[in-house]
Amino acid sequence: MTDRMETTRRGALGAMTVGALVATGALPVAAQAARKTFVLVHGAWHGGWCWRRVSDLLEKKGHKVFTPTMTGLGACSHLISKDVNLTTHITDIKNFIKWEILSDIVLVGHSYAGIIISGVAEELHGKISSIVFLDAFMPENGDSLAEKAAPAFRDAIANAINRGDVSLKAPPAAAFGVAEADRAWVDGKCTPQPISTYTEKAVYTGGRDKVAKKTYIRAKGYASPAFDAALAKTKADASWKTHEMTSGHDAMVIQPQELTELLLQAV
Query: Could you tell me which residues are beta bridge partners of residue 214?
Result: 131, 240
Beta partners for residue 39, in sequence order: 66, 107
Which distant-in-sequence residues (6+ apart) come within 8 Å of 244 by Cβ? 217, 218, 220, 231
Specify whether the CB–CB gap between 121 and 97 falls below 8 A: no
The catalytically annotated residue of 77, 81, 103, 111 is 111
Edge-to-edge strand list for the sheet holding 105-110: 64-66, 37-41, 105-110, 128-134, 213-219, 240-245
Q: Let me know if 111 is a catalytic residue.
A: yes
Closest CA to 191 of 11, 21, 80, 45: 45
**H or E stretch including 73?**
none
Question: What does DSSP say about strands 193-194 and 167-168: parallel, antiparallel, or unpaired?
Answer: antiparallel
Point out the residues that are catalytic.
Answer: 111
